[in-house]
């Protein structure tokens, strides 16, 4: 499950959210943003903190699909790093991952 929002604001205005945020913080499950990663470069993680960042971090044509680290069984999206897969001709793919 992913909860998006301002943790400090939520915990400052609600006892229930203060408990939830404290539990998440204690379990080290509170992150700086939405972690996204390319299926070809799973170690290259970027944290999205604003919706406008998604096409900058993980461009995919007109739609912005991305791989959530918590849903690692689907390979969608890409990244800005070189693909580097071997082509049939033997060269490395020069394109960005898509």
- Whether residue 45 is found in the same domain as residue 13: no
Q: What is the pLDDT of residues 9-60, one digit of tens each?
A: 999 999 999 999 999 999 998 888 888 887 778 888 888 888 788 777 776 5
**What pLDDT was estimated at residue 59?**
66
Answer yes or no: is pLDDT of 72 > 80: no
Band the pLDDT of 78: cuts 50, 70, 90.
low
- Whether residue 41 is found in the same domain as residue 72: yes
- Whether residue 22 is found in the same domain as residue 47: no
- Whether residue 23 is found in the same domain as residue 1: yes
Overall pTM surpassing 0.85 (yes/no): no
Answer yes or no: is pLDDT of 77 > 70: no
Instruction: Identify the CA nearest to 37 among candidates 57, 52, 19, 16.
Output: 57
Instruction: Identify the CA nearest to 49 among candidates 38, 60, 36, 61.
Output: 36
11 touches 17 (CB < 8 A): yes
Distance from C-alpha of 84 to C-alpha of 93, rounded to nearest angstrom:
5
Full domain range(s) for residue 84: 32-98
């Amino acid at each position: 499950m992913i909860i998006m929002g301002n943790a400090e604001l939520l915990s400052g205005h609600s006892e229930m959210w203060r408990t939830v945020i404290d539990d998440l913080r204690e379990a080290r499950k509170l992150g700086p943003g939405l972690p996204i990663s390319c299926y070809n470069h799973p170690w290259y993680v970027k944290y999205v903190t604003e919706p406008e960042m998604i096409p900058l971090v993980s461009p995919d044509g007109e739609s912005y699909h991305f791989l959530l680290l918590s849903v690692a069984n689907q390979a969608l999206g890409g990244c800005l790093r070189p693909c580097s897969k071997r082509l049939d001709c033997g060269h490395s793919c020069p394109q960005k991952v898509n």
